[in-house]
Structures are given as C-alpha cells and as structure tokens.
Amino acid sequence: MRLDIEDVTLEVAGTRLVEHIDLTVGSGAFAGLVGPNGSGKSTLLRALYRALRPAGGVVRLDGDDLHAMDARAAARKLAALPQESSAEFDFTAAEVVAMGRLPHRGRTAASDREIVAGAMERTGVVHLADRGFLGLSGGEKQRVLIARALAQQPGVLVLDEPTNHLDVAHQLDVLSLVRDSGPTVLAALHDLNLAAAHCDVLYVLDSGRIVAHGPPHDVLQPPLLAQVFGVRAHPVRHPVTGAVQLLFDLLPPTT
C-alpha cells in the first residue's frame, strides 16, 4: 500500500508545528523519519494515526484520503505504535495483541487466534501471553505492542521510536522483523545508524520542514548532519552489510 503525504501542515493550539510536508513511501518500502528533538516527527505521525487533523494538505493511502475514512476502515489499512502507549486496565499480553483484530471483526475466532499467535511468535512474546501488561518491562511492552500492530495486518505501519526501551539485540531484531513483515513502513527513529541500516529512504525533518530526503548513503552526509544535528559526523561503511554508519563528535568551537 502506497502512502502519500501531500502538502500537509499541522497546528496545535494555534501554533504551526509542521508545514508543507510532501512525503511518499512506495508500497512495501521502509522509510525513516529522522531529525532533532522538537523537529516535528511525532507531530507528523499523529496526523497518520488520526490523532491530529491537518490544517492543510491531505494524507492518502493508495490514493484515498485517510481522514475521510471512518475509524474502522482506517484501522484496517493503517496500524500505529505511538511513542507513548498507556493502558488503564491490566490486560494480559495476549489480550493486548488480540486488540489488533478489532477492526476485522466478522472473521472466525479461529482465524483471529491463529493471527494473534503468529504475531506473538514473530515478536518473541509467546512466553508473556498470560502475564499482565502493566507488569512487563519497557522492552517487553514494546514488543507486545508491535505484535498487536502486526496482528492488525495493516497495509501501512507507522512507528514512533519503536526501539525505545529495547537493548541492542532487540533493536536490531525488531527493525529486521518490521522490515520483513510486509506492510509499508514509516518510522521515526533517533538512532541514525539504525535508520541507515534498515531504511530504504530517509526524510530529514528540521523545524517542521523536510530539508532532505533520499537513500541513507546520500542523505547522511557531514554538512547536513552538522547543520541539522549540530554534530561532526564521520561516515564509514559497515564491513558486512556495506550500509553507511556514522561516528560522531562535537563540532569544533567557532572562533
């Protein structure tokens, strides 16, 4: 499923936070959204999971206006993992994952159980099935929520910092899993090396605007990183994958 963000502007309490964003993710591609804190990444993603309606522009899924759909139809096409997810009731992990099937009510219960079990197996949380969600560690919660999103079987998957609370092995595992899971993916990522290793294309957001986009090796260049992130970057190539990786230090003081 193709995702198109066309000239989108977003405002909160009368303050414009994101403006004139054009962004396209082709069907099945993995796009990364990167930028410094406060650049507008989470705000933009809120428009995709319909927590914020654009003040201008449109978000399209295979050409259809996302915000013109009813909630259930939108949820059958797009699943989201916001940066902060809360639960008021202590559901079990299996019950949380099963919530991903709610937009698809009408299928057989057996089919739903198979899909939920498959999502839990793929994310390595089967052993947590009967544990209360509120009692899980941060990393365990994150993997359960990713399983819920996969159980939703969306055409587009939107992730806001999906590697939060995960150790290095699980960061690599989760992003590989997401990449291979099938949906079109747009993920906000802080770690530029993870973004470079897993994304087909990167969009760099700064002060609410896209300032660069393209393949990671083209985008993650020292002049841009100095301008946007305020750091001196030293690109190297991963010895196995060939992906660009970055070493950082502070910019030298100006005189």
Domain with residues 3-221, CATH architecture: 3-Layer(aba) Sandwich (3.40)
Report the half-sphere exposure of 148 (CA within 13 A, side-chain side).
29
Residue 130, both tokens: 């009967």
Under DSSP, the state recorded for 92 is: B
Q: For residue 232, what are the contacts with CB-CB under 8 A and spacing of at least 6?
A: 222, 225, 226, 248, 249, 250, 251, 252
What is this structure's pTM? 0.93
Predicted confidence pLDDT, tens digits, the chain (255 residues):
999 999 999 999 999 999 999 999 999 999 999 999 999 999 999 999 999 999 999 999 999 999 999 999 999 999 999 987 666 668 999 999 999 999 987 655 778 999 999 999 988 899 999 999 999 988 888 899 999 999 999 999 999 999 887 889 889 988 998 888 889 999 999 999 999 999 999 999 999 999 999 999 999 999 999 999 999 999 999 999 999 999 999 998 876
How far apart CA 149 and CA 97 sit, in angstroms, is 8
pLDDT at 88: 65
Domain ranges of the chain: 3-221
pLDDT at 160: 96
pLDDT at 106: 60
Residue 156, both tokens: 């587009």
Residue 207, both tokens: 């002060």
pLDDT at 107: 56
